Amino acid sequence: MSRHERLRSDVTAQAADSPDRPAAIKHYVPKLRRLKLAGLGLAGLLALGLGGWSGAQWWTTGRFMEKTDDAYVAANITLISSRVQGYVAEIAVAENASVKAGDVLVRLDDGDYRIALQTAESRVTTAGERLARIDAQSEAARAAVAQARAMQDMAQAQLQLARTNAERSARLVAGEIAAQSTLDDATEKLDTARATLANADAALASAQAQVEVLKAERAEAEGTREELKLAQAQAHRNLDLTVLHAPVDGTLTNVTLELGDLVVPGARLAALVPRDGLYIEANFKETQIAGIVSGAPVHMSFDALPDTAFEGRVASLAPATGSVFSLLPPDNATGNFTKIVQRVPVRIEIPADAIATGALRAGLSAVVEVDTRAAARPAG
């Protein structure tokens, strides 16, 4: 029972008990009216105060806030795929498990890749042995050059001696001191010495050419060995790629493979949601973005955390509306054009305290308010 009802009942009871009933009623009626007027006045003052406070809030803050509920938590999700082909030998992490960067996620059967690596290593060893053989041949060829050069020197000395003997014999025969046969013999030895020198020159040239040939063969063999080393490195890399590791800290989900499945390069195997890479993508109307700039303060709340508000900042604005990047962009150059207000994606940073709650997931809904007063502040 309200206060006025109790008062009215008391008045009625007192009036019924009083012998002077009309006088009692006349005494309490003005008091009731005064209380009613006081209550109405108090209610009016409260309404006026609340209205004034709301108006002041709108004038100082509210009129600068751009709000949208077309906002969702997003993440830089990493798609896990293989770069080599193979059968799944082990799945090391369960669905929705937390992983750290470098943890093993999946192992593929690596038998073929181990054989390929051993083959590549064997070829590199063979190429090294060929280089060793060429080096030995080069040493022998350089020795042959030295020997040919010595034979050339000896032939030149013999030629000089034969030429001297021939000239002496010619003088003796001219002076009739020696017989003609002596000159003929000296001439023959001179011709033989010349032939021997020519042979020595040819042998030296051949030995030097052999050295150059071996140098070219070694360069070719060295190039072949480097190619084989690259093939060995590729085989080793392919073997390492049979083990899939987590690139970042996060939660593994959407696993689409089982033991024994054949994995092909590029196929999507799972998704890794980063632990700290969450952000909000808010889609503002084109009529709202005039005052939204990078760095502007943002008030945000999440449906998953209804009783908590957080403060963040605008990270960036998309250079185009969402419809531009759709699979089938609208063609407005048609006769049935209808204007539709477009929306521009705005990326908003989520504060660390919101992420630390552990309640946020990619795809959750959010409500954001951007303070546009940052656009009016001078830079710097």
With beta carbons less than 8 A apart as the criterion, state whether 6 and 32 touch.
no
d(CA 144, CA 146): 5
Question: Which residue is it, tokens 């089982």?
Answer: 258
Q: What is the pLDDT of residue 15?
A: 47
Four-point Cα dihedral 265, 267, 269, 270, nearest 10? 120
Q: Are 293 and 379 in contact (CB under 8 A)?
A: no
Measured distance CA(203)–CA(60) in Å, rounded: 104
Question: ∠ CA(42), CA(44), CA(46), 5° rounding?
Answer: 70
Gyration radius from the chain CA atoms: 51
CA distance 106 to 239: 13
CB distance 132 to 214 below 8 Å = no
The DSSP bridge partners found for residue 311 are 299
Residue 141's CB: how many other CB atoms inside 10 A? 21
DSSP 286: T
Q: What is the distance between the alpha carbons of residues 203 and 200, in angstroms, rounded to a whole number?
A: 5
Determine the length of the chain: 380
Q: What is the Cα–Cα distance from 310 to 369, expressed in whole angstroms?
A: 11
The predicted structure's pLDDT at residue 41: 76
User: What CA–CA distance (Å, rounded) separates 132 from 130?
Assistant: 5
Distance CA 253, CA 272 (A): 6
Give me 276's structure tokens. 């700290």
pLDDT of residue 52: 66
CA end-to-end span of the chain, whole Å?
64
Given a contact cutoff of 8 angstroms between Cβ atoms, the answer to whether 317 and 296 are in contact is no
Strand partners, 74: 279
Q: Judge contact between 285 and 355, C-beta under 8 A.
A: no
Dist. CA 350–CA 156, nearest whole Å:
93
User: Amino acid identity, residue 291?
Assistant: G
User: Angle, to 10 degrees, between the axis of helix 180-240 and the axis of helix 111-174?
Assistant: 170
Residue type, 341: V
Per-residue pLDDT tens digits of the chain, which is 380 residues long: 555 455 455 545 554 454 555 555 555 566 667 777 777 777 777 777 777 656 655 555 556 788 999 999 999 899 999 999 999 999 999 999 999 999 999 999 999 999 999 999 999 999 999 999 999 998 998 898 888 889 888 888 888 888 887 777 777 777 777 677 777 787 888 788 888 888 888 988 988 899 899 999 999 999 999 999 999 999 999 999 999 999 999 999 999 999 999 999 999 999 999 877 899 999 999 988 888 999 999 999 999 998 899 999 999 999 988 788 777 777 777 667 778 888 999 999 999 999 888 888 899 999 999 988 876 555 44
What is the C-alpha to C-alpha distance for residues 70 and 284, in angstroms, rounded to an integer?
7
β-bridge mates for residue 104, sequence order: 245
Write the single-letter amino acid at 326.
S
Q: Using CA of residue 39, residue 45, residue 49, residue 55, what is the dihedral sign? A: positive
What single-letter amino acid sits at 267? A
- Indicate the SS3 state at residue 278: strand
The C-alpha atoms of residue 337 and residue 331 are separated, in whole angstroms, by 9
Burial of 316: CB neighbours in 10 Å, binned 0-12, 13-18, 19+: middle
Cα–Cα distance measured from residue 93 to residue 269, given in angstroms and rounded to the nearest whole number:
12
